[in-house]
Chains A and B, each alone.
Chain A
Amino acid sequence: MLGNVERTKWILDRIEKCKCEEHTKEFLKGIVLFELGSLESGEKHWKSAYESMIERITEKEK
C-alpha cells in the first residue's frame, strides 16, 4: 500500500523513466510537485506558476 509520499515518488519515477527530452521531464516533475503541493491554489496562481516554469525552462534551452 502506498502512502502519499510513496505515491509522489512513484509518479516522479514514472516521468523520469519516460522517453523524452530531459527538460520536458524536469518541467513535468515541477508541474506535478506544484499540483500535489498546491491543491487549493486559485486559477491565477497556477497560470503564473506554469508560466514561470515554462519561461525558466525555455530560456534555459536557449
Chain B
Amino acid sequence: MQIESITLTNYRQYSKAKLDFTSPERTKFLTVIVGESGFGKTNILNAISWCLYGEELHLTGGKNISPQDENVLPIYNIPAFVEAKPMQVFSVSVEIVMNDSSGQKWVIERTKKFQKLKGDKAAMFPLGSNSPDSSFVSLTIQKKKGGNYEPQDNPVERIGSLVPKALEQYFLFDAEKIRDYFTVHVAAAIKEEVNKLSQVDTLSRAIERLEKKQDDFRRESRPISVSTAKLQEELQKIRDCLAGERGELRDFEAQKKACYDTIQMIETELRGCTEENVASLQKLKEEYDEAIRKLEDELESNEVKKQKALVKYAPIILTLPAIKSTSHVIARLKKAGELPPEYRRSFLKRLLQEGKCICGEDLSGKAGSKDRRTSVQKLLNDTDELSEASADISRFDGDMDRLESEATAFWEQLDEHGSTIKKIETEIEKRRIKIADIDGKLKGINIEKVSRLQERLHEAEKAKDEWSKRIGACEGRISDLKDDESDKAEELDEELKKTEKGLKLKKKIDFLGDAIETAERVRDSITKEVKGEVARLTNENFFSFISKKTAFEKVEITDEYEVNVVHALGWQARQYLSTGETQMLALAFFAALHRVSGLDMPIFIDAPLARISEAPTERIVEAFPKCFESKQVCLLMLDKEYRPVRDNFSPILCREYQILYSEKEEGYGASVVTDYA
C-alpha cells in the first residue's frame, strides 16, 4: 500500500493543501514534513484517521474530546467559516489516493458539510444532522478501472480490509503516545493481524474445519452397530463436556485479561503521576513535620530561658551604665579631693544655728550678712548630697565587680541562647525546605486518587490471581477430558474396523487426523518463524539505536506479541526504560513488525526524534534506511530536529514539505504547505 496524495480542504488549519507522496525511485522512500508546534503536523495524522475511520485519533486530549462539544475547536477551517456568508454551506473534506500491493488505485474521500448560521456559529448541514455517526457525513471509495474511477459499495468494510483500524497506530505512529504501543490491547491486535497477514489464521480456520469434518465422520458411524452407536454417544458426551469447559476457559481468560488490562491501566496512571513512591514520600513528610514540631518546642523552651534571663538581668543591664558613670564621677570627685567632703555637716549646721562664724563674722542673714549665710547654706546642702552619695557609693563600690561579672555572664548566656535558637531555626528551615521539595514532587497528585488507585490495583491483582487459579483448574479438567476423548475415539475406531463401512469411515477419520497434525505443524512453524524474526530484527534495531549497549541483554517478544527488555543481569526492564529509550524500543519494534509481518502500509511518524538525545539520534538516522527499507515513510518534524540530520537523510529523501502559518489581520490564520527551504 502506497499513499499517492492527501488533499485537505477546509480541514482544521488548512484551507487547501495537497501533499504528494509519489516517488520517482524505489530507494527514495522518505517524505519529511517540517513545521513548528501548533502549525498542523499532527493534524495530518488526524486528517488521515478521520478520512479512513471517521475519528481524529491523534488529538492531544485523546478520546475524551467530543467533536460534538460546541466549546471544542471545530473541525472546519476558521478562515473558511469567517469568510462564508450567513446561511452559506461549506465543506470539510480529506481525500486520500492510494495504491494497494497489486497496483490497484483507490480514492477515499470523507466530506462533512456545515452551514454558517447567524451569530458566529455553524451547524452540520443539513440542520439536525449533528449526531456522532451521522449519515450526512459522506464517505466514498472509488476504484480505478481503465481510465475511470468507479464508486464501490461498503466503503467502511473495504477500507477496513485495505488499512485495518486495529493497526492504525502502527502506521500512524505518534511519539507522544509511545507507552500505548506496549499495552495488551495493542499486542493482541498486532498478534491477530500478524497471524492474518502471515496466513496463520487461514491454517487455523482449515484446522478447525478439518476437526469438524472428522467429527461428522465419527457421527456417521452411529448407525453401523449398537456398539458404535453407544461409543459415539459416549464420545459425544465427552465432547459436550469439553466444549463446556472450553467455553468456561474462554470466559475465565477474558476475565483475567480484563484484570490484566485494569492493572496495566492503573500502573500507567500511577506511573504518570508519581515518579517516586507516594506513600514513602508522605511518610517522610510526616517525619519531617514531627521533627519540626519537636524543634519548635525546643525553640520555644530556649526562647523562654532567654526571656527569663533577660528579666533577671534587665535591672543590672539597664542600670549598669548609670552606676558605672556615677562611679567614674565619684572617682573623679575623690581624685579632686571633693570626696569625702571637707566639712562636716554638724559644724556647718551649728554655725548657721548660732548665726556667727568662728572668725566672728555675722551669719545671721540680716542686712550685710545675707550673702555669707546663703553661701554657708549652699555648702551645707552640697555636703548633704555628697555625704549620702559617698555613703551609697562606698556601699555599692564593693558590689560593682560582682555586678560587672554578672553582666558579662549574662551576655555570654544571651549569646549561648541566641546561638541555640539560631541552630534550631536552621534545622527547622532545613526540614521545611525538604517538605517543600516533597510537596513539589507531590504537587498535582491527588493523594486520595492515588490511594484509591492503589486499592483498585490490589483488588485487580487479587482477582487476576483468582482467575489464574480457575484457569489452571479448568485446563486440568480439559486435559483429562481430552485424554478421555482420545481413548474413546480410539475405542470407536477399533470398533469401526469390524465392518466394511466402518473401515471406510475410519480411513477418512485417520486421513483427516494426519492432515490436522500436518497443518498444525506448519502453522506452529510459521508462527515461530515470524515471531522469531520480529524479535531478531527488534533486537538488531534497538541495539543499533541505544547508547547503553551493555546495560541490556536482549529484547524478547512473547507469544502474545508483548515486548520485554531483559537487563544485563536478567531483570525485566521495559517498565524502567527512560522515555527516550522507550521511544527507541517502540521504533525498533515498529520497524521490525513492518518488515517481517508484511504489513502493507505506509508509515507516518510524528516527532520521531523528539525525546531522543543527540547521539542516539545520529544512530537512528544512520540505521533508518535499513530499518524501513522499501516502506513508504513520512516523518513529521520540527525544523530544529530536522535541519541537523537533513544531509544524513538525503540518500533516501523523496520530498520535503514545510508547513507555514500566515496570520491575517482579523486575528485568524491558516497553514499552507510549501517546499522546504
Contacts and interface: CB of A to CB of B under 8 A. Distances in A.
A32 B209 CA distance: 11
Q: Is the interface of B mostly helix, strand, loop or mixed?
A: helix
Interface in B208-259: 209-210, 213, 216
A28 B518 contact: yes
Contact of B206 (A14, A23, A31): A31
A47 B213 contact: yes
B511 A4 contact: no
Contacts of A28: 206, 515, 518-519, 522
B515 A32 contact: no
B218 to A, nearest CB: 14
Q: Is the interface of A mostly helix, strand, loop or mixed?
A: helix
B334 interface: no
Nearest to A15: B522
A18 B210 CA distance: 18
Given A3-B600, A32-B202, A25 B102 contact: no
B507 A32 contact: no
Contacts of A21: 514
A61 B504 CA distance: 12
A53 B507 CA distance: 14
B526 interface: yes
B206 to A, nearest CB: 5
Contacts of B102: 3-4
Nearest to A10: B199
Interface in B177-209: 197-199, 202-203, 205-206, 209
B511 A54 contact: yes
Given A14-B525, A32-B203, A25 B518 contact: yes
B213 A51 contact: yes
A7 B197 contact: yes
Contacts of B630: 1
Contacts of A58: 507-508, 511
Contacts, number: 81
Interface string A32-62: 1001100000000011001100100110010
Given A1-B630, A7-B197, A50 B518 contact: no
Contacts of B518: 15, 18, 20, 24-25, 28
Contacts of A57: 511
Contacts of A27: 511, 515
B598 A1 contact: yes
A12 to B, nearest CB: 10
B441 interface: no
Contact of B205 (A1, A2, A35, A54): A35
Q: Which of A1, A2, A10, A18 has the most CB of B within 10 A?
A: A1
A7 B519 contact: no
Given A1-B630, A50-B210, A7 B598 contact: yes
Contacts of B525: 14
A6 B209 CA distance: 24
A50 B515 CA distance: 12
A31 B202 CA distance: 10
Contacts of A8: 199
B512 interface: yes
13 contacts: A2-B598, A15-B518, A20-B517, A24-B518, A27-B515, A28-B515, A32-B199, A32-B202, A35-B202, A54-B508, A57-B511, A58-B511, A61-B507
Given A1-B600, A35-B202, 14 more contacts: A7-B197, A7-B198, A7-B598, A10-B199, A14-B522, A15-B518, A20-B514, A20-B518, A24-B518, A27-B511, A31-B519, A32-B199, A54-B213, A54-B512
Interface of A: 1-4, 7-8, 10-11, 14-15, 18, 20-21, 23-25, 27-28, 31-32, 35-36, 46-47, 50-51, 54, 57-58, 61
